[in-house]
Amino acid sequence: MDITTEVRPGANRYASGANILQNLPSYLADFKKISVITGEKSSEAFKKYYRKELHYPTYRYDGSSSHENAVELATQIGHAELILAIGGGRVIDTAKMVAEELNAELMVIPTLISNCAPFTPIVAVYHPNRTFKAMGFMKRAPFLTLVDSNFLLATPKDYFVAGIGDTLAKWYEIEGITRNLAEDEKSAYVRLGIASAKAIQQLLLEDAIPAIKDLENHQATSAFSRVTDTIIGLAGETGGFAASYGRSGGAHAVHDGLSYLEATHNQLHGMKVAYGILVQLAHTKDLEEIEKLRPFYKKIGLPLKLKDLEVFDTSKSALTPVIEHAASSNETFNMVDPHITADQIYRAIQTIEFL
């Protein structure tokens, strides 16, 4: 059995709307043994909005999204029917691993609009020192994802922008991976994944700028809600339908490589992925597409240069950990180009840096 090749569309149930968290007790009613996993900031944001006590054992993750921390938390919990994850991507991914360890269901309340972690059965696993380790594939998707658009208006702008960058990669990665596939090689679900990713790209290019303004004005408009559901829900459908053809490509490989530079540890996931989109496009010689994206990047605040990620030394020696990891055989740049080398990735980076 290889669950990485299976169609895994996403959460068992996805509920989205204004003030939907007021119905939380009814969503929890079917479970008796519940444990909460959250973080300090996530917990504060939730309490400020929900204003009711959750009378369940509550555990804090250590910030790493590591398997080691998940095992530690699972040992502390001992037994649970339901793990309730309240937080951002790393909290949620930790909770997924805990739920897997305990054979428990998972309910997710995202506190940020920054990625599709609340929706998918996929986990970004890091080492305890926060360097990237691997992608993990859980046997279960979340039982329920609760997306409260009013609550999520508290998302910091930089996280929202990073979520847009991460989600935009869905189109560029699946297009890069599948462009050389003959039509008869594309299964029905791969074609659906491609169509989903194209719809995501178009929606973000149309709605992202007004949605950011709506966030700043604290208004849960239709544009804001569409972008929210795109980042959290639709983003997971691309890989859910197309499996390995639609999950990660060059952009995420560059992100993973950048995690080996300490200067980037405080940079948000989606910001590094957005830079990776440009590197992938430079490698595939899609310079016209880069020029189309540059005004959009500049308008919403996505990184156009490594200096925007606090990386100022762009010499080959300084970037060796980045390019060697991104080009490694177990990374996903080889989904775009099976013969990718570290030198080619460095040349692509230099193309971006000198545009």
Residues 139 and 184 in one domain: no
Q: Is residue 187 part of a domain?
A: yes
Residues 121 and 91 in one domain: yes
Judgement on whether residues 201 and 293 belong to the same structural domain of the protein: yes
Largest CA distance in the chain: 58
Over the chain, what is the mean pLDDT?
Answer: 95
Handedness of CA 269, 275, 278, 283 (dihedral sign): negative
Mean pLDDT, rounded, for 283-290: 98
Q: Are strands 34-38 and 82-87 parallel, antiparallel or unpaired?
A: parallel
Q: Is residue 216 predicted with pLDDT exceeding 80? A: yes
Helix (H) or strand (E) run with residue 294 in it: helix 287-300
| Per-residue confidence (pLDDT) for residue 336, from 0 to 100 | 97
30 annotated ligand binder: no
Q: How far apart are CA 115 and CA 231, in angstroms?
A: 6
Query: Is 112 part of any known ligand binding site?
Result: yes
| 16: pLDDT strictly greater than 90 | yes
End-to-end CA, the chain: 46
Confidence of residue 284 (pLDDT cuts 50, 70, 90): very high
The annotation status of 113 as a binding-site residue, yes or no, is yes
In a domain, 43, yes or no: yes
Q: How confident is the model at residue 151 (pLDDT cuts 50, 70, 90)?
A: very high
Mean pLDDT of 89-118: 96
Q: How many whole angstroms separate alpha carbon 94 and alpha carbon 124? A: 9
Of 132, 151, 170, the one marking the end of a domain is: 151
Q: Does 182 lie in the same domain as 92?
A: no
Instruction: Check residue 2 and give its pLDDT.
Output: 78
Answer yes or no: is pLDDT of 234 > 90.
Answer: yes
Does residue 3 lie in a domain region? no
119 is a domain residue:
yes
Q: Quick one: 147 and 38 in the same domain?
A: yes
| CA nearest neighbour of 269 among 145, 155, 161 | 161
Q: By residue range, what is the domain housing residue 177?
A: 155-352
114 marked as binding residue: yes
Using the predicted structure, report yes or no on whether residue 345 has a pLDDT greater than 90: yes
Is position 197 within any domain?
yes
Q: How confident is the model at residue 6 (pLDDT cuts 50, 70, 90)?
A: confident
Element containing residue 320 per DSSP (H, E): helix 316-326
Residues 84 and 213 occupy one common structural domain: no
The alpha carbon torsion through 19, 22, 26, 31 (nearest 10 deg) reads: 100
What residue type is 2 in one-letter code?
Answer: D
Q: What is the pLDDT of residue 253?
A: 97
Is 90 marked as a binding-site residue?
yes
pLDDT over 90, % of the chain? 90
The verdict on whether residue 311 carries a ligand-binding annotation is no
347 known member of a binding site = no
| 188 shares its domain with 140 | no
List of E strands, the chain: 14-17, 34-38, 58-60, 82-87, 105-110, 122-126, 132-137, 144-148
From 151, 185, 200, the end of a domain falls on 151
Cβ(25)–Cβ(156) below 8 Å:
no
Residue 131 CB partners (closer than 8 Å, separation 6+): 259, 260
- Which region, left, alpha or beta, applies to residue 243 given φ > 0 means left and ψ of -120 to 50 means alpha? left
Asked if residues 106 and 96 have their Cβ atoms less than 8 Å apart, the reply is: yes
The reply to whether 166 sits in an annotated binding site is yes
User: pLDDT of 306-340, one tens digit each?
Assistant: 999 999 999 999 999 999 999 999 999 999 999 99
Domain boundary among 94, 127, 151: 151
The predicted model gives 193-217 an average pLDDT of 97
Predicted confidence (pLDDT) at residue 1 exceeds the cutoff of 80: no
pLDDT at position 4: 73
Q: Determine the angle formed by the axes of helices 188-216 and 222-229, rounding to 10 degrees.
A: 140
Q: Is 159 annotated as a binding residue?
A: no
pLDDT confidence band for 72 (50 / 70 / 90) = very high
What separation in angstroms does the CA of 232 have from each of 117, 119, 224, 254? 7, 6, 12, 22
**Structural domains counted in the chain:** 2
Q: Is 67 exposed, middle or buried (0-12, 13-18, 19+ CB in 10 A)?
A: buried
- Amino acid occupying residue 234: L
Q: Which domain CATH number covers 57?
A: 3.40.50.1970
Are residues 65 and 122 located together in one domain of the fold?
yes
pLDDT for residue 135: 85
233 shares a domain with 94: no
Kindly state whether residue 5 falls inside one of the protein's structural domains: no
Are 200 and 291 members of one domain?
Answer: yes
Residue 305 lies in a domain: yes
State the virtual CA torsion across 131, 133, 139, 141 in degrees, nearest 10.
30
The predicted structure's pLDDT at residue 63: 93
Q: Residue 87: what pLDDT?
A: 97
Q: Residues 142, 168: one domain?
A: no
Q: How far apart are CA 45 and CA 334, in angstroms?
A: 40
Residue 291 belongs to domain with CATH number? 1.20.1090.10
**Is 252 flagged in the annotation as binding?**
yes
Does residue 6 sit within a domain?
no
Q: Is 300 in the same domain as 167?
A: yes
Task: Determine whether the annotation assigns residue 89 to a binding site.
Answer: yes
pLDDT band per the 50, 70, 90 thresholds, residue 59: very high
